[in-house]
């Protein structure tokens, strides 16, 4: 699939427009450089000096400060999608090591596209077909061999970058570039309204192979322990997480139940939106684990917002297929997060409780004789 993402009409939500910009280049674990540059370019163009941007080997941090030194509501999304690392590249083929959770029974015979480390667009350096694996390593037979002196280093499934039709968005990499797009659009609206709140967007690398980018930011102490983390994801559709019925307040994932106080913030926002006619769902999404689990494991207050995903990790009916989400769910997620960001400074969450207790201890500890 060598075509660019399709044009999007004026009625399409802004988060989908951002998603379109992100999908004009491929991504895979540890090869997020091109999509990172797309995100940074969007930030320079649309938010400029209203945010502070810093890059780290674990990802990108974008901070909007509207409430001074108070804690921030941090929206965490990731820049990668399952793919393959290539080795033993020849004129006839290569070896492809699976990175992330694609369904192995669907991969033999699937078409792939191969790229250099920092592709400028979706034109592949080579194309091929996967054979039967040995462990997680698949033989690749080229159908279009790489040009002389060209060395592809990663590959992705050959599926549409972005197609929008009939209220659906289809793509090879909705998980989690849609979460990135939703987070960026939320930040844009918060900044445009000059809300008296602090919002940070965390764009992680290498989530699909074990939250590596998030763990790196945690290790490097890039996020205050007083901040509240929301994992912004697309997650496998379930009977109580239905596409087209609104975003999902994620009460937990496959690994962990999430923080009750932070969920209360989201519940209050959902109630306000429902009074205006919006739909919001609420359930534990057990189709996979998200970065909320990683932050919880290291002592952070964490919960999540997700939109229901069809063909999770490109697993279709007997073959690999594009992932799919409803456009209305993406817009609903942005509205939910903007409302939560507006209410965040007054919510009884860990950062405010911590500050109050520290102040109380400072005042009264001298009495401990």
Residues 123-156 pLDDT 10s: 999 999 999 999 999 999 999 999 988 899 999 9
Instruction: Print the domain residue range for 166.
Output: 14-81+162-353
- Residue 129: give its domain's CATH number: 2.40.10
Q: In this structure, what are the phi and psi dihedrals at residue 62, rounded to the nearest 5 degrees?
A: -125, 120
Question: Do 52 and 139 fall into the same domain?
Answer: no
Instruction: Tell whether 174 is covered by a domain.
Output: yes
Question: Do 171 and 115 fall into the same domain?
Answer: no
Instruction: Tell whether 361 is covered by a domain.
Output: no
Q: Is the pLDDT of residue 4 over 70?
A: no
* Tokens 């920092």 belong to residue: 118
Question: Using an 8 Å Cβ cutoff, are 122 and 24 in contact?
Answer: yes
Give dist(CA 211, CA 291) in Å, integer.
6
Question: Do 115 and 254 fall into the same domain?
Answer: no
Q: Sign of torsion, CA 39 327 168 262?
A: positive
Question: Do 112 and 182 fall into the same domain?
Answer: no
Q: Count of domains in the chain?
A: 2
Question: Do 73 and 94 fall into the same domain?
Answer: no
Residues 223-247 pLDDT 10s: 999 999 999 999 999 999 999 999 9
Question: Do 215 and 348 fall into the same domain?
Answer: yes
Question: Do 201 and 268 fall into the same domain?
Answer: yes
Instruction: Tell whether 25 is covered by a domain.
Output: yes
Residue 148: per-residue pLDDT: 86
Question: Do 145 and 279 fall into the same domain?
Answer: no
**Could you tell me the pLDDT band of residue 46, with boundaries at 50, 70 and 90?**
very high
Residue 10: per-residue pLDDT: 45
Give dist(CA 12, CA 160) in Å, integer.
18
Q: What is the mean pLDDT of residues 198-210?
A: 98
Q: Of 3-17, 122-136, 147-161, 336-350, which gets the smallest average pLDDT?
A: 3-17
Residue 248 or 350, more confident: 248
Q: Is the pLDDT of residue 30 over 80?
A: yes
Instruction: Tell whether 24 is covered by a domain.
Output: yes
Largest CA distance in the chain: 80
Give dist(CA 75, CA 229) in Å, integer.
6
Q: Tell me the whole-structure pTM to 2 decimals.
A: 0.94
């Amino acid at each position: 699939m060598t075509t660019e993402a399709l044009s999007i009409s004026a009625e399409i939500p802004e988060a989908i427009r951002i998603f379109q910009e992100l999908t004009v280049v491929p991504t895979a674990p540890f090869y997020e450089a091109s999509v990172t540059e797309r995100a940074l370019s969007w930030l320079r163009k649309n938010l400029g000096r209203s945010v502070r941007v810093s890059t780290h080997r674990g990802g990108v941090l974008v901070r909007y400060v509207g409430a001074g030194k108070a804690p921030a509501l941090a929206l965490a999304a990731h820049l990668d999608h399952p793919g393959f690392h290539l080795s033993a590249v020849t004129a006839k083929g290569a070896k492809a090591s699976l990175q992330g959770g694609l369904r192995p029974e669907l991969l033999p015979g699937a078409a792939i596209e191969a790229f250099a480390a920092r592709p400028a667009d979706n034109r592949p350096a080579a194309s091929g077909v996967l054979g039967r694996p040995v462990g997680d390593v698949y033989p690749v037979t080229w159908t279009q061999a790489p040009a002389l002196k060209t060395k592809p280093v990663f590959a992705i499934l050959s599926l549409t970058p972005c197609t929008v039709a009939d209220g659906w968005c289809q793509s090879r990499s909705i998980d989690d570039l849609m979460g990135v797009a939703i987070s960026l659009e939320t930040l844009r609206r918060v900044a445009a309204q000059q809300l008296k709140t602090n919002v940070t967007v965390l764009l992680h690398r290498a989530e699909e192979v074990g939250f590596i980018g998030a763990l790196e930011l945690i290790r490097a102490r890039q996020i205050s322990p007083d901040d509240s983390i929301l994992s912004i994801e697309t997650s496998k559709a379930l009977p109580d997480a239905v596409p087209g019925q609104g975003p999902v307040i994620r009460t937990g994932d496959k690994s962990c139940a999430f923080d009750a106080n932070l969920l209360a913030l989201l519940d209050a926002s959902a109630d306000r939106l429902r009074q205006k006619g919006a739909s919001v769902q609420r359930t534990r999404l057990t189709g996979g684990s998200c970065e909320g689990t990683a932050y919880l494991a290291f002592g952070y207050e964490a919960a999540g917002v997700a939109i229901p995903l069809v063909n999770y990790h490109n697993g279709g009916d007997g073959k690999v297929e594009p992932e799919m989400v409803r456009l209305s769910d993406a817009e609903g997620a942005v509205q939910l997060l903007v409302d939560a960001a507006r209410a965040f400074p007054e919510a009884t969450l860990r950062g405010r409780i911590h500050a109050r207790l520290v102040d109380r201890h400072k005042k009264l500890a001298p009495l401990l004789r």
